[in-house]
Amino acid sequence: MDIIILSSFISSLFLRVLVTASVYLTLSVGTSVHILLHKDDNKSSIGWISLVFLSPLIGTVLYIFLGINRVKRKGIRLRKNTNMSWKYPRGVIKNILKNLPLNYKQFITLGYNVYQQNFVFGNSVEPLQNGTEAYPEMVKAIQNAKKEVLISSYIFDYDSETDRFLDAFRSAIKNGATVKILIDGIGTLKFFHRSIEKKLDTIKGLQHDIFLPPHVPVTLPFVNLRNHRKIMIIDGTIAFFGGMNLSEKNVLINDLEKGVLDLTFKIKGPVIDQMSEVFENDWEFTTGEKFQSLSKDVSNINEGIIPARIIPDGPDNKSGIIELIVNGAINTATKKILIVTPYFLPENNILTSLEMAAMRGVNVEIIIPAKSNYNFIDWAIEPNFLRLINCGIKIYRTSRPFDHSKIFVVDNEWVFVGSANWDVRSFKLNFESNIEIFSRELAEKLTLIAESKKINAKLTTAYECENLTFLKRIRNNAYRLLTPYG
């Protein structure tokens, strides 16, 4: 009898082991095959496959929710009729290339091959620092809107400062303007609710929607892919574009703990039409509804002399457009590279390009916060400092309040600004939008703004990097591994 029971137990145990092994192999091999077929980045593939084989169930679930890019397929379906890519007219090429050195002629060719979007002339671009400068201009423009207000923001807090925007929306609607507002499902999420959404609901005639809200289970697989763009367009003639969110924190510039320093750009001219198309596509992506903004009717009005073009990017673009243009600009530089960013966690290709530029004799300066709004990011960026400093790159770390500004200037000639940070999330995961500009005047203004930030900044030294404690080095390198997989 005991032999029969023992035999039955062994058979049952063997069956369980066999089933477990089969499930393990099915999940591990099946998920790994999908990773191999759909992931282009080797580090990302190795990371996901390692996780899947170490923990098939957890790894597979995480990969399904965070690793598979469904937005690409949905984006292609919704955006297939977009007309954002045109060929350069010969006259436009001639005007752009005139008086530029050979390296910039090659860079413009590279940029067009990366993203086939025209440079358009006749624009004005004015930098506005912090909410103290930007918000009054924004509110005034919205209040005076007669036809259309389009707003896309990653964060739209409801507080005493943004309440002014709600009043401005009411005024615009009273004037007869259509108001459309798109906010990100995660950026404005506060403890699984969005207070601003309830307030927007109370404004009669206002249209708003949420970009990929994290509803279980329908949109939870998209939770890692966010709309990080900040776009505001009024009547198709004036726009505010950059990296500044809508929050009271942007006016608390003397509050060392809560305040946020930032930068946005007031833009007029034909390039607004390209900006409007980004909003139109995002609106259709989110709501399924098509519309055409007013900018088409006023896009030929010249407001200045600056050539510019909009560069949108996102996980529905396979190549990583913004990262490629950033890399191309670094390799084009002959004199100076100026970078101001709240988060500096690029991958090795960008770091290597910066090192090579410095070794060619280019003056490379990077300005980042000494303390951001995430401690783990501050720790993760530090392991890269020593290699950059040893190549002659200067890294300045600004004191509080947290500086969220984004500036990229090359050779005091070329400017690249917008919503994208210098990290994997912006380069590979988020929906971002930057503007590419040739303007010595604007480059000089932004350089002066950066110089003012350096006054209260501390230059990072090799000695500091080399003398971190053993535990801090372990901590920093461990957090660097948490850089999001693409």
**55 and 181 belong to one structural domain:** no
pLDDT of 72 reads 53
Share of the chain above pLDDT 70, in %: 77
User: Which of 308, 332, 364 finishes a domain?
Assistant: 308
Instruction: Compute the average pLDDT of residues 413-437.
Output: 94
> Residue 61: inside a domain, yes or no?
yes
When the pLDDT of each residue in the chain is averaged and rounded to a whole number, the result is: 85
More confident: 409 or 428: 409
Instruction: Compute the average pLDDT of residues 261-287.
Output: 95
pLDDT of 169 reads 98
Instruction: Compute the average pLDDT of residues 177-194.
Output: 82
Q: Which of 343-347, 394-398, 476-480 has the lowest mean pLDDT?
A: 476-480
**148 and 220 belong to one structural domain:** yes
Angle between the 348-359 and 321-332 helix axes, to the nearest 10 degrees? 10
**15 and 150 belong to one structural domain:** no
> Residue 108: inside a domain, yes or no?
no
User: Which of 253, 276, 308 finishes a domain?
Assistant: 308
> Residue 333: inside a domain, yes or no?
yes
Per residue in 86-136, pLDDT (tens digit) is 344 445 555 656 667 778 888 998 999 999 998 999 999 999 999 999 999
**413 and 283 belong to one structural domain:** no
**265 and 332 belong to one structural domain:** no
pLDDT of 21 reads 67
> Residue 154: inside a domain, yes or no?
yes
Share of the chain above pLDDT 90, in %: 59
More confident: 278 or 15: 278
Contact 271, 435 (CB under 8 A): yes
**288 and 139 belong to one structural domain:** yes
Per residue in 194-217, pLDDT (tens digit) is 678 889 999 999 999 999 887 655
pLDDT of 127 reads 98
**127 and 154 belong to one structural domain:** yes
One-letter amino acid for residue 196 of the chain = I
> Residue 93: inside a domain, yes or no?
no
Given a cut of 50, whether residue 438 has pLDDT beyond it is: yes
**153 and 261 belong to one structural domain:** yes
pLDDT of 15 reads 66
**59 and 158 belong to one structural domain:** no
Given a cut of 90, whether residue 333 has pLDDT beyond it is: yes
pLDDT of 81 reads 42
> Residue 314: inside a domain, yes or no?
no
Check which CATH number belongs to the domain holding 248 and give it: 3.30.870.10
CB neighbour burial string for 137-176, b if at least 16 within 10 angstroms, e if fewer: ebbebbbebebbbbbbbbbbbbeebbeebeebbbebbeee
Distances (CA, A) of 181 to 154, 169, 248, 278: 11, 10, 18, 13
pLDDT of 304 reads 87
465 Cβ contact list (under 8 Å, min separation 6): 382, 385, 386, 389
Distance CA 114, CA 319 (A): 8
**304 and 337 belong to one structural domain:** no
Given a cut of 80, whether residue 4 has pLDDT beyond it is: no
Total number of domains in the chain? 3
> Residue 84: inside a domain, yes or no?
no
Distance CA 280, CA 288 (A): 11
**335 and 271 belong to one structural domain:** no
Per residue in 168-179, pLDDT (tens digit) is 999 999 999 999
Domain with 373, as residue range(s), is 321-480
**339 and 444 belong to one structural domain:** yes
pTM (2 d.p.): 0.84
Q: Is the peptide bond before 401 cis (omega within 30 degrees of 0)?
A: yes
pLDDT of 364 reads 98
pLDDT of 20 reads 66
pLDDT of 443 reads 97
Given a cut of 80, whether residue 19 has pLDDT beyond it is: no
Given a cut of 70, whether residue 243 has pLDDT beyond it is: yes
Distances (CA, A) of 304 to 89, 301, 437, 483: 20, 9, 13, 41
Q: Which of 323, 293, 304 has its CA nearest to residue 434?
A: 323
Q: Which of 51-55, 174-178, 329-333, 396-400 has the lowest mean pLDDT?
A: 51-55
pLDDT of 68 reads 59
> Residue 105: inside a domain, yes or no?
no
Range among 66-80, 215-229, 337-351 rated most confident: 337-351
